[in-house]
Amino acid sequence: MTPADLSRTVLHAVHCAVEADELPAAVPTRVTVRVPPRPGCGDYATNVALRVAQDTGRPAREVAEVLRKRLAAEPGVARVDIAGPGFLNITLEGTSYAQLVRDVLRAPPAAEPLPLPAPAPELIARLGSDAARWSLLWPAGFDRAELLVQRDGNPLFRVRYAHARSRALVRNARDLGFHSEPAGTGHDGAAAALLAALADHARITTARDPERLARHLDRIAGAFLTWQTGCAVLPRGDEKPSAVHRARLALAEATGNVLADGLHQLGITAPAHL
């Protein structure tokens, strides 16, 4: 279930509650979900109960309980908890994660790059073709000289490094004799942020907006590097590969595919070694 799918599911739950006279309120035109800022608070959170409560005159937590019951019965939703004044924290079933990774791995690569203005020859001579193209996509005021430095503050390096790191994990796993296998196990709060970013990829590429795509790739890269630093994707020492390792490897492989696809659409190379 992607964030867009979940938003529609939450909106449907509100609509059904209103139709059943459980909530005397107007149905919002749209509902947003987001990844909670802290691990352990579900995969996504929404403030829809607080918004609806303004129309009903009832306490937000009371409204949240009505919606919690309906959401918890939806396919793909494992659990719904109420937090604070009435936020709904939603935990998805593990199979939803597995299907998302599986879909990303099966997705065909982009057919062609997006149309971009041609960088000036002097800019290409100064930065190289890849950095010159990226410099056209980043906000004004960004120091273009930063694109030549291999460090975390360089968004192009961050994206390409995350891609190269994901490919290295796949190569190392192959050397250890195992392959990726999508599953709903072994994914924590950091993985949820990465999965949410991956789920947005198809929607963002459909918009065919190069600047938005560049920001999206940077978001994925940051989420991937945070996740990968905090968990063991590969077995350590004499440890045997487990289902958790295979699931994490599948997430790393899917991330590499998405980053490579996005860079290709921007006309920028995605080296497997960096």
pLDDT at 40: 63
pLDDT at 95: 61
Give the pLDDT confidence of 52-105 residue by residue, as tens digits: 998 888 899 999 999 999 999 998 888 899 999 999 999 887 667 788 899 999
What gap in Å lies between CA 183 and CA 148, rounded to an integer?
38
pLDDT at 216: 94
Give the pLDDT confidence of 155-186 residue by residue, as tens digits: 999 999 999 999 999 999 999 999 999 986 66
Higher pLDDT, 259 or 37: 259
Name the H helices within the chain.
3-19, 48-56, 60-72, 94-106, 121-127, 129-135, 155-176, 189-199, 201-207, 210-229, 243-265
Give the pLDDT confidence of 3-30 residue by residue, as tens digits: 788 899 999 999 999 999 999 888 888 8
pTM: 0.72
pLDDT at 94: 67
